[in-house]
Structure 1
């Protein structure tokens, strides 16, 4: 086995020498070899002695020697002839060898059947010592998954599948679920009932019989189909039982009340769901709903009396666990899985609710509730949820620092120069670099500019792609197929003879620079590289000829000055107490600002408590910042915690579009309903509160005021990622290694993938409980997803699907219509129409598409919950609307935002708007409109749109006959009185007098 293991390691090294498109053959060979070893270990687990497996051992030795000889011949010939040329010559020979390995000798086949037919482990039981044997069973399950993937996405080297696609998917989903169970923590696994252990072993064995032995069956097509159906039913019975028994109860601890509200609203609407299993369980669902309403009301009353009591918090956690269990069971029903034990599950939920109520009554009756748990008194309420904070927030003055850096960038030296900004976390390195980078005088100095966040965890090819995306006009998705060496040469070629400025933000080690250095040519044209780092030794090693620019901590006096300016509205508090708090901030501007925001909501005794907490901490600078962030997080209202942590789902230093973010918050159920305000307005209030607390930074402002884009500090991003993982709010998976080993914990409700589309598809993630899937490509324009159906099959319960950063191709995926729970859908692609079946997404609230001119079907008028239709243009046209069903439609009464609507000749803007009565933001592109009469004159009445606040009207540049019509026409618009923003492009100047 040692020789075999060594051979596998060498195969991985050899694979890296082979071009990207030809690695599949090596992978196929490796998987076939791994199978023999895995099967032998599995057979030994089942009680077979080595002598009984001699046929397999012999076959493994022969295969290993042949493969070793083959690669030895290839490797020694690689350098003289050129590996790629030789590989083309040897590929046929390689394929022949692979097919010989796949051909199963009758003796080997008989051994397979004997092992799998042995239905009992020693002692006549499937029971596993899971703490010892789960790795063997898990590896075997991995091989079965690989074989099923081959059946679903065959290649020239695939195993010849006898399974149909639907059968393969059933097996795949079941095995990924079992793989998830097997990778849980040992204490959790050890606590499972013996029956579950039996079921896991039996289920894996049954899957192996189907996958491995089905090709050997010599039966008629009809007999084979019946046999497969029977075997799959047996397999599914075991999986269903395991699902019920292992249903998780560790769920997100943030925004507990928000989730309860969200679930109860969902249960209220559930009877209208056109699913047979829901109809059958209608009475039980109603009972559970009533029980949850009663529990929520009871706990809210208890919470008023004992706000900070740990026992009450524990009860809330238990209540949310019950709510999530309810949600999980209901979603299984919606997904078509009718549970035989549904009544039992409902009884269990009711019983747990009654127990929680009994515990709550004990707390209410306890007269000795600890006084120490009283909430901290606040002098000011949180900012109004509808108000807009002053965008001109105070920022540490860095003008002098910025001028110094700008002078160095514009120095007379013609040689390539590297300028470093060094300082502790929280001092403002990135802020300073960003101010310099955005300065108009700096932008004008250079031909090309690029900003690249390196961070502690990075991949060199991703860094190269990000820079190329900014500086190469011909950048395309083909670049993602290049290896590191090719990308280095491409970037170097692109920068040659051009004066460039590259910012490398947050460089942690010299290795990151070593991977990029060769890409930056020195053409003696005054090009510059600006980098930020926490580590002076890194900066000095990268450029030993220039001293780094060090950012120093604030003095105690400057810290106190910053605290006072941030607290400009506060008066009457002793300066001594304020100075004491400022001193404990250790000169970190980030800490000062966040502490000031906390203090702004507290009475004086709260100030004293904060001062005491800060004085007790003896932490490093980084830990001090994290301690401050934790303190700020604890002081957030419950409804803001999930909103803040959600920033961690985005890549570090990402500039996030404000509206996209609040639409996601709404879809996730983070925003409370308010009768007097729209959900968007409430969400804006949440954002304003986070900005006011110094946690969120405004990157860009809107012309009419308000936030356009925002971001958070890298330390806060790190905090959000760690806290969100701990609180089970979301999980981040990135890179090929991470994705391939990720099996989707049962308690993960949101999955954020930071990778390429190709790795994402190949990973075949199985996360049946995930309600939200957000994809962020390392380089947005280079990632594609091919073969979309797997996503729908493996993520059936999605409420949020955000693929706006990965291209899904030229055709809108029809499988989307199967995701009946979707509330938020964002897609990028080259498709020109959306199929009518999309109207089956009755829960869809937000639809965002970036692509070509997209035509919406007339069935769009049958989507009552739709609130946001946002289409980004990639060419001159945007979105056109089929109006065939307009007359008989009740309209889209909930639509708040609609852009960009393309109205062609003969379509009436006014007529369409009559069916969008509550719209607030509208962007339209007009051709010649039939509102005009025969003389080319007419009136477009929009004054009935009482809620319309923002209107953007633009006309295409007309040609020919249409130009003459438009030139003679005179159209009068009647705008609503409450319009706050009006943008006109290519419109007749005669409109101006009526404004």
Structure 2
């Protein structure tokens, strides 16, 4: 194992400490950090990369194939292989029977059923292909720790269940880019090592009430289920949850589920007629820890207006998306008081006028408006959003040129997309925003 186990930290926390150490030593360059400061993606310098690849190849640590190799012996000895061309099937004919890791950046995935010691299998494409997945290709891979697949669905349900039932030690199961994967067999939820599960959005009902979920940290893409009423699943270590609460499901019951989550840092919730008690996060035990929140009302109604108050949102929230929720006040007048907020996205709000006060949104870096069809006026007072870097306005047809746009002195990127009225004033916007390096009006 590359990352040692420490009692006081999760493996993910330990790995991030190691990565930050490499950054401090200038061996790794950060290409993207989240708004809470964690590293989302990184790279290394070209020269260091060439040296690392050569050394890894010499030590049979990893081999990178961007084309059919001239010497198949390098593949036959490698314990880890990354493939960047579509000839993976031929590659597997020469692969080391002791292969531990296979990452494919081009499709299709090969038949890996003979690679019995494989621990890491990844289809690194992030979208489903037109072709369904043949799980017979992965039969017998009982040692898998990490499995990421993408495809158009299942060829055979029996082979899928056989594959899942063979996973004795899996830690990460990422099917988020598999279309129509259906329900996971009940067995998988009781695997003691399971840490991260990502499923296609809302195609699965998720774990049953009897599931053993003590090690689970990520649960994404599941729907609520009535059987949770019998015995609420305990998720003591859950950090990331993406869930859809169906209209037939009791919101009171779902609130009880949230009452069991003490370490949640990221929550995405889709529902119907989202009630005020769910929006008000202060009552839940994760209130002190939540950093990223997405709330989506799947049946937005002008009549269902919520009373918005700043205390509803966790005190450390840095990323916030509100989709379809309607409020009885200008949402910006309340949200601007969230002193740690760095990213805000509003979708389908019905307000006609909005305003940002002087001193509001002190830490905001990115702001996005999408499909605000009724918004006509937006005023930015001097001193509002002092460090805003990116502003996106999309499908806001009635919006005129925002008053005070010139006060966004640190703005680096302005995107205006499918905004009919703003497009008519493109020259005026460019004249006001001469200080902005990148402007897109489309």
Fold shared, TM-score > 0.5 on shorter chain: yes
* Partner SS for 1:880: coil
**How far has the Cα of 1:705 moved from its partner?**
2.4
Is 1:826 aligned to 2:148, yes or no? yes
Is 1:869 aligned to 2:197, yes or no? yes
**How far has the Cα of 1:812 moved from its partner?**
5.0
Q: Show the 5 A alignment for 1:351-500.
A: none
Change (3 A) 1:927 1:733: same
Q: How far apart, in 1, do the equivalents of 2:270 and 2:308 lie? A: 13
Change (3 A) 1:817 1:771: same
Determine which of 246, 253, 263 is the counterpart of 1:947: 263
**How far has the Cα of 1:718 moved from its partner?**
0.8
* Partner SS for 2:99: coil
**How far has the Cα of 1:681 moved from its partner?**
0.5
Q: Could you say which structure has the larger radius of gyration?
A: 1
Contact 1:940/1:971 (CA < 8 Å) preserved in 2?
no
Is 1:985 aligned to 2:284, yes or no? no
**How far has the Cα of 1:970 moved from its partner?**
5.8
Q: How far apart, in 1, do the equivalents of 2:13 and 2:47 lie? A: 29
Deviation digits for residues 259-289 of structure 1 (CA, Å, limit 9, x no counterpart): xxxxxxxxxxxxxxxxxxxxxxxxxxxxxxx
* Partner SS for 1:818: coil
Contact 1:857/1:882 (CA < 8 Å) preserved in 2?
no
Change (3 A) 1:746 1:880: same
Query: What are structure 2's unaligned runs of at least 5 residues?
Result: 298-304, 314-442
Contact 1:938/1:971 (CA < 8 Å) preserved in 2?
no
Determine which of 720, 737, 748 is the counterpart of 2:78: 748
Higher RCO (Cα < 8 Å, 6 or more apart): 1
Deviation digits for residues 371-399 of structure 1 (CA, Å, limit 9, x no counterpart): xxxxxxxxxxxxxxxxxxxxxxxxxxxxx
More helix by share: 1
* Partner SS for 1:944: coil
**1:796 aligns to what?**
116
Contact 1:880/1:901 (CA < 8 Å) preserved in 2?
yes
**How far has the Cα of 1:691 moved from its partner?**
0.9
Determine which of 198, 204, 211 is the counterpart of 1:880: 204
Q: How far apart, in 2, do the equivalents of 1:879 and 1:685 lie? A: 35
Deviation digits for residues 849-906 of structure 1 (CA, Å, limit 9, x no counterpart): 22224332222222111111123x5xxx3441355xx3444x12111112232336x4
**1:732 aligns to what?**
64
TM-score, normalising length from structure 1? 0.27
Is 1:672 aligned to 2:1, yes or no? no
Contact 2:209/2:233 (CA < 8 Å) preserved in 1?
no
Deviation digits for residues 898-921 of structure 1 (CA, Å, limit 9, x no counterpart): 2232336x465x878623321112
Determine which of 751, 756, 773 is the counterpart of 2:102: 773
* Partner SS for 2:124: strand
Change (3 A) 1:939 1:824: closer
Q: Show the 5 A alignment for 1:631-670.
A: 669-670=1-2
Change (3 A) 1:803 1:822: same
Deviation digits for residues 121-145 of structure 1 (CA, Å, limit 9, x no counterpart): xxxxxxxxxxxxxxxxxxxxxxxxx
Contact 1:733/1:753 (CA < 8 Å) preserved in 2?
yes
Q: Show the 5 A alignment for 1:930-945.
A: 930-932=249-251, 939-945=255-261
Change (3 A) 1:687 1:943: same
More strand by share: 2
TM-score, normalising length from structure 2? 0.58
Determine which of 854, 857, 877 is the counterpart of 2:185: 857
**1:809 aligns to what?**
131
CA-atom RMSD in angstroms: 3.1
Q: How far apart, in 1, do the equivalents of 2:50 and 2:141 lie? A: 32
Q: How far apart, in 1, do the equivalents of 2:197 and 2:257 lie? A: 22
* Partner SS for 1:700: strand
Q: Show the 5 A alignment for 1:40-439.
A: none
* Partner SS for 1:954: strand
**1:459 aligns to what?**
none
Q: How far apart, in 2, do the equivalents of 1:853 and 1:892 lie? A: 24
Aligned residues: 292
Deviation digits for residues 507-549 of structure 1 (CA, Å, limit 9, x no counterpart): xxxxxxxxxxxxxxxxxxxxxxxxxxxxxxxxxxxxxxxxxxx
Deviation digits for residues 278-306 of structure 1 (CA, Å, limit 9, x no counterpart): xxxxxxxxxxxxxxxxxxxxxxxxxxxxx
